[in-house]
A and B are shown apart, each in its own frame.
Chain A
């Protein structure tokens, strides 16, 4: 493919706040028809080359997915939402220079992959995935060819399946088709018991709640109390080989075995962003009032093993690789695995071993309880208990609302180009106010905020 020079996406062409790199789309005809009058067409993606700008402005070549009709590609690929029982159709066109493949990993019966037809896409060819998901969960779609090269070079994205019957006032209150008893108890307790005052987990934005304008309109309702984090790592040396026309095909300039042994990432991404930009991305950051629990779906598309740490709240680990856990622990730091690690022969983890060793796809419940180690009368609202703190301005930045981080505690992941801490796998976790939904002083309301609450 030849053209005349790099084209930088103009500011006008970006969605507001630049939060466009993680577009999302609804795939299942059934899901959308229950929620709006329009039927969703099949999802059409293409595989295209692009330059992805790292946090330090270095531009690195990637193979990316582009949604048909979008002006620009996505890294990671757009999140696809569907529900069980939907007739999902995804069409993928290979606009790269070598063969590629497309699968939805682990989304098939018995945890097998959903494979496209044909399985291999020659340059210029189109393949189709057509299936009906039976099990709700968090899945990764990717190019599995020459694993892990093609996936790590950019061809991956999230595929989220919600339980059938998801509607604005749905009785479904967990993200799973068959929650375990402990999971069901937890979700039943949210918003009902003294330990979890406030609201239950709400899978889809209720009709009466205002839509967020800083998220893509067709899918903002699915991100109401849900986040999707796709983790990736970049070692630009290999991307440069691909940019020069190399690939991992036989005779290609990239050898998958060498890639595995030599991969040393210089950049660490969440939702295609790092550091301060990831911390300001409305699709990535967690924000809410006390009593607004959130589900976070986390996918590791890279090669490193993360140890994700959340401040302020312990989180509940709900499921590993789509398997809801019988034993639901609340922890502050979590081990994940890689796609390859999940499939190591003999690594068929079960039960508690799943919790200890982790998987490439893991779901959290962030309960949004009042941080338990703020001393003072628990019956007084936080705006009174923390009156001095909330009034402080330090470094020209107000301490209101309450802001904490989520980050990978394998601290080399907090670097970019070997330093620049903490411009790596990190995002923000905001408490906007207490149970009474009165925003903390100086805090804006959620939804309309461009880069976090309180900002014009």
Chain B
């Protein structure tokens, strides 16, 4: 039976180097290039391995069948407790010029600063720049206060799942220069978040201290929820698992491609919020698994009535995550950029998500939400992890797990 063949494309003569670089980025080191005086310097090192213990109920049902899971992280070499999952928080101030001195060992890696927009040499994407095995000083500004993250961009499908990521927060300066609390705001609050006008339009209780002229709103308590899942079988793989082979003379030849990989087939069996594993309360083999409410203070929030709580939400995984809050929330920023703040975000405004209304994010998206409980109580939060092929709108949704935690409000 005759068939016309639609070809995949060609490698134009003379462009082999560009095609080779796509699959096999070159190594490079050094920096900073085109240096500007830094206002903040930091150091990171990868990759570092750590073993994340699994609660027995989780260990008993993972496909890898181990009591722990191997994570690869980007550690802070200057912090005795700098080897964590997620990788340690980076916090800068709006307007900073950052020099990130990154040491690489063991294997090729990069760091991409997601949502931060520097030059390609500092953007950490191998096939448009390089991968590193020794050292590189990345230079980037942090021009817009918001919630971002940083992650390795080598064999990203695997490395990102392995844990090579951390949260990056850019804080606006304190509008009161004499205050003892200046950006960056460590310690879970208080602090300031850039936010646009329009709270009245959101029709939720107002947030005290909002300064429209400066577009900042203060918060009292901050929660960082990096919601993620792992495929335990993937965590048994090596750094270059299923990568394409490198042939300079024929960079896209059929024989360079691997054909038996599993990295299209993501089967999460461990579910975490900011590194804390969700423990199922339902029997093995029953889906969705329902996780016990997480009480770890890295995740569960405590606040007093009438405090402003800022929740920085990140989908750090590969599922469609659908969240439901037990309290009204106002969304004030997405992907680091605050709604309604000129010049670039002047075409948007904050909007409300009512208590009990599910909303969803896909991989790498961030939302910043403000809540302001006025009465004591325990307000539930849940995240439902859906398969990205059979999501919540599918005729046959595949829901793996529901993780839970709480906002506890007490005087």
Binding site for B on A (CB under 8 A): 1-9, 11, 14, 17-18, 21, 48-59, 61, 64, 72-75, 182-183, 185-186, 193-195, 257, 260-261, 263-266, 272-277, 279-281, 303-307, 309, 311-314, 316, 327-335, 337-338, 340-342, 344, 347, 351-353, 356-358, 367, 369, 371-376, 385-389, 392, 394-397, 399, 402-405, 409-412, 414-423, 428, 450-452, 455-456
Q: Are B1 and A72 in contact (CB under 8 A)?
A: no
- Closest Cβ of chain B to A210, distance in Å, is 21
Task: Report B-chain residues with C-beta under 8 Å of the C-beta of A455.
Answer: 12, 14-15, 18
Q: Are B5 and A6 in contact (CB under 8 A)?
A: yes
A-B contacts, 23 listed (Cβ < 8 Å):
A6-B5, A18-B9, A74-B6, A75-B6, A185-B347, A195-B344, A280-B9, A313-B117, A332-B336, A333-B115, A333-B362, A335-B360, A341-B393, A356-B360, A372-B143, A375-B141, A395-B17, A397-B21, A412-B264, A415-B261, A419-B260, A419-B262, A420-B23
Q: In the bound complex, what is the Cα–Cα distance between A20 and B333 (angstroms)?
A: 41
CB contact between B242 and one of A4, A342, A420 (< 8 Å): that residue: A420
Return the chain B residue nearest A266 by Cβ. B264
Q: Are A422 and B15 in contact (CB under 8 A)?
A: no
Q: In the bound complex, what is the Cα–Cα distance between A68 and B119 (angstroms)?
A: 45
Q: Are B390 and A261 in contact (CB under 8 A)?
A: yes
Q: Which of A316, A333, A387 has the most CB of B within 10 A?
A: A333
Binary contact track B1-31/A, C-beta < 8 Å → 1, others 0:
1111111111010110111111101101000
Chain B contacts with A in 96-134, Cβ cutoff 8 A: 97, 112-121, 123, 125, 127-130
Q: Are A330 and B348 in contact (CB under 8 A)?
A: yes
Q: Is B265 an interface residue (CB 8 A)?
A: yes
Q: Are B334 and A329 in contact (CB under 8 A)?
A: yes
Q: Are B5 and A331 in contact (CB under 8 A)?
A: no
Decide: A421 near B155, CB < 8 A? Known: A304-B389, A395-B21: yes
Given contacts A18-B9, A389-B34, 13 further A-B contacts (CB under 8 A): A7-B2, A59-B5, A74-B6, A263-B389, A307-B363, A331-B335, A340-B393, A373-B140, A399-B120, A419-B243, A419-B261, A420-B258, A455-B14
Q: In the bound complex, what is the Cα–Cα distance between A347 and B395 (angstroms)?
A: 12
Q: In the bound complex, what is the Cα–Cα distance between A411 and B395 (angstroms)?
A: 23
Q: Are B3 and A51 in contact (CB under 8 A)?
A: yes
Return the chain A residue nearest B359 by Cβ. A356
Q: Are A17 and B388 in contact (CB under 8 A)?
A: no
Q: Which of A52, A56, A303 has the most CB of B within 10 A?
A: A56
Q: Are B265 and A412 in contact (CB under 8 A)?
A: yes
Q: In the bound complex, what is the Cα–Cα distance between A261 and B397 (angstroms)?
A: 9
CB contact between A17 and one of B3, B12, B142, B257 (< 8 Å): that residue: B12
Decide: A399 near B121, CB < 8 A? Known: A55-B8, A328-B348, A455-B12: yes
Task: Report A-chain residues with C-beta under 8 Å of the C-beta of B129.
Answer: 394, 399
Q: Are B363 and A410 in contact (CB under 8 A)?
A: yes
Q: In the bound complex, what is the Cα–Cα distance between A51 and B5 (angstroms)?
A: 5
Task: Report A-chain residues with C-beta under 8 Å of the C-beta of B349.
Answer: 327
Q: Bin the interface of chain B by size.
A: 35 or more
Q: Is B203 an interface residue (CB 8 A)?
A: no
CB contact between B365 and one of A261, A330, A333 (< 8 Å): that residue: A333
Q: In the bound complex, what is the Cα–Cα distance between A380 and B25 (angstroms)?
A: 31
Q: In the bound complex, what is the Cα–Cα distance between A375 and B318 (angstroms)?
A: 32
Q: Is B396 an interface residue (CB 8 A)?
A: yes
Q: Are B36 and A376 in contact (CB under 8 A)?
A: yes
Task: Report B-chain residues with C-beta under 8 Å of the C-beta of A48.
Answer: 4
Q: Are B252 and A276 in contact (CB under 8 A)?
A: yes
Q: Are A411 and B343 in contact (CB under 8 A)?
A: no
Q: In the bound complex, what is the Cα–Cα distance between A306 and B360 (angstroms)?
A: 13
Decide: A73 near B123, CB < 8 A? Known: A57-B254, A410-B363, A423-B23: no
Decide: A418 near B391, CB < 8 A? Known: A182-B347, A410-B318: no
- Closest Cβ of chain A to B365, distance in Å, is 5
- Closest Cβ of chain B to A253, distance in Å, is 16
Return the chain B residue nearest A303 by Cβ. B389
Q: In the bound complex, what is the Cα–Cα distance between A332 and B15 (angstroms)?
A: 30
Q: In the bound complex, what is the Cα–Cα distance between A183 and B388 (angstroms)?
A: 30
Q: In the bound complex, what is the Cα–Cα distance between A40 and B5 (angstroms)?
A: 28
Decide: A273 near B390, CB < 8 A? Known: A332-B335, A335-B365: no
Q: Are B265 and A418 in contact (CB under 8 A)?
A: yes
Task: Report A-chain residues with C-beta under 8 Å of the C-beta of B266.
Answer: 412
Q: In the bound complex, what is the Cα–Cα distance between A395 and B132 (angstroms)?
A: 12
Q: Is B263 an interface residue (CB 8 A)?
A: yes
Chain B contacts with A in 312-356, Cβ cutoff 8 A: 315, 318, 320, 331, 334-337, 339, 342-349, 351
Chain B contacts with A in 63-85, Cβ cutoff 8 A: none
CB contact between B393 and one of A11, A273, A347 (< 8 Å): that residue: A347
Q: Are B157 and A412 in contact (CB under 8 A)?
A: yes
Return the chain B residue nearest A372 by Cβ. B143
Task: Report A-chain residues with C-beta under 8 Å of the C-beta of B395.
Answer: 257, 260, 340, 344
Decide: A312 near B117, CB < 8 A? Known: A330-B345, A356-B359: yes
Q: Are A329 and B33 in contact (CB under 8 A)?
A: no
CB contact between A61 and one of B3, B128, B264 (< 8 Å): that residue: B3
Q: Are A396 and B22 in contact (CB under 8 A)?
A: no
CB contact between A331 and one of B125, B337, B351 (< 8 Å): that residue: B337
Task: Report A-chain residues with C-beta under 8 Å of the C-beta of B243.
Answer: 419-421
